[in-house]
Each structure stands twice: as structure tokens, then as C-alpha cells.
Amino acid sequence: MQLIVTKNYSELSRKAGEIVCSFICGNPNGVLGLPTGSTPIGMYKYLVDAYKNNKVSFENITTVNLDEYLGLSKYNKHSYNYFMWENLFGKVNIAPKNTHVPRGSVIFCQRECHRYNKILDRNKINLQVLGIGENGHLGFNEPNTPFDSRTHVVSLSQSTLQANSRFFENKNAMPRYAITMGIADILKAETVLLLACGKNKAQAVKDMITGNCCEQVPASALQLHKNVIVVADEDASSLLS
Ligand code: F6R
């Protein structure tokens, strides 16, 4: 794994934005795997600015998102689909038909997982951007998810419910289940770019890079991948010697 340590969040966002921009410029028909959450917001701002300044075009880019809460429609402001339109899709020249996010409002979840796997099979991810959970999750692949998993339904762990409750005014309204791409889907990407920011991610970053490669720490699966770039701020990398 290549580790890039940045001073702070704004430097992390700029570095991540530069990496994604240079990927898009070199692969104008490429496929990007995308995360939501607080960490990538600055990177999305960088990409929107780059688009507005004619430095990058999303015209022929395809995106596949990692995950979505089950039970939320795409119009719900807490849904990850809504997040993507607010932070990126609605602000750049991407074709809506080229954006893919799991559908959270489906009744037949297994059918949705199957549909999403087919999308992933048709669109090989060139660059997968990731955040990391405090418990080491990737997407919503919680601890003990098999490394050979594909898109599946997850029951969110207590740690994730606790961490993500900050986005919901009413904690009881927070979904308990989600659909996520699997670890195997993430590992198939040509290049992985993982972003980590803040002291609360330091243990997960340490376990990911220097811990045992095991299913209790989903992010440690990245040790099996040949082309991983980690961009972490000083706080998130503070436990690495
Ligand atoms: C969201 C996702 C999650 C987040 C992780 C970190 O699409 O894939 O794995 O990346 O929970 O979230 P933040 O960035 O909010 O700390």
C-alpha cells in the first residue's frame, strides 16, 4: 500500500481530488467506484470546482456507489443517492444513466443485490474511492464479512449505527439495514484510493495497514490488493510508526 499523509482535511481533499481528476483525464470513459459519508465531501467539492473550471469532464464517466440504506427512497435527504446528487451528480455533466447507486426502497432485496452485481459485472471499476469506518468497515461491509462476498444486505453494527446517527435528527428514524457492494467487488477494482481523516480512524487505519489480514477487520482485505493508495491526515495516521 502506498501511504500519503496530509497535514489536515483540506490537504487530504485536494490530494484525493487531484488523484481522481488525473484518473478521469487519463480515462475519460472510465468507471469510478464512489463512497458517501463526511470524508469525501471535500474531494467532491474539489471535483465540482475542477469541472466548473473546465479541467475535467464527466461526460463519459460511469459511477457505481458502494452502498445505500434500506428503506430510504432516493428522494429522502438521508439516502446516499440524495447525497450523491447534492455533492456531485447534480453539479457536474455526468449522464444520469451512467450513475448507479443500490436502490434502498426495494421490496425484493435479493433481487436488487442480483441486479447490482450485474451492473458491477458490466462495469469494471477502474478507480474505487473508499472511506473507512471506525470499526474498519469498507462500504457497509461490517466486521466478519467474508472476503469473497458480493453485493448483499447487511444488518448495521452497533458501532456503525452509533457513528452514523450524527446524520439523523431522530435516531429512531435511522435505518438498521443497508445494501452494500461486497469485499470481493471492492478487491476487483484496478486501483483503490482510501481516504481517512481524524483521530477516530487512527486504530482502523493501523489495523488495515499493519494488522492481521482477517475478516474481523474488513479494511485489512486491502492488503490482498496490489494497487492501493491511502490518503490519511496526520490524526488518522497517528498510530502508524
Ligand atoms: C459510505 C461508506 C462508508 C464510509 C465510512 C466512513 O458510502 O462506504 O464505509 O466511508 O463509514 O464514513 P465517514 O467518512 O462519514 O467517516
* 1-29 pLDDT per residue, tens: 999 999 999 999 999 999 999 999 999 99
Ligand 1 pocket test, candidate residues 43, 66, 128, most atoms within 8 A of CB:
66
Whole-number Å distance, alpha carbon 134 to ligand 1 midpoint, is: 9
C-alpha cell at 66: 458502494
Q: What average pLDDT does this structure show over 75-83?
A: 96
pLDDT band at 205 (very low <50, low <70, confident <90, very high): very high
pLDDT of residue 241: 83
pLDDT of residue 176: 95
What is the DSSP track for 26-86?
H-TT-EEEE--SSTTHHHHHHHHHHHHTTS---TT-EEEESEEETT--TTSTTSHHHHHHH
Residue 72 pLDDT = 94
pLDDT (tens digit, 9 = 90+) per residue, 100-113? 999 999 999 999 99
Point out the ligand 1 atom lying closest to the alpha carbon of residue 138: 9
More confident call, 39 vs 170: 39
- Confidence tier at 54 by pLDDT (50, 70, 90): very high
What does the pLDDT average to over 81-110? Answer: 97
Residue 137 bears catalytic tag: yes
Ligand 1, CB within 6 Å, residue ranges:
35-39, 66-67, 80, 131-133, 137-139
DSSP string, 79-114: SHHHHHHHHTGGGS---GGGEE---TT-S-HHHHHH
pLDDT reported for residue 140: 97
Distances from the Cα of 9 to the Cα of 77, 126, 183, 229, angstroms: 24, 25, 26, 16
The pLDDT score that the predictor gives to residue 212 is 98
Q: Does residue 142 carry a catalytic annotation?
A: yes
**pLDDT at residue 237, as a whole number:** 98
The minimum-distance atom of ligand 1 relative to the CA of 65 is 7
Q: What is the predicted pLDDT for the residue at 151?
A: 98
pLDDT tens digits, residue range 166-186? 889 887 889 999 999 999 999
43 neighbors 129 (Cβ within 8 angstroms): yes
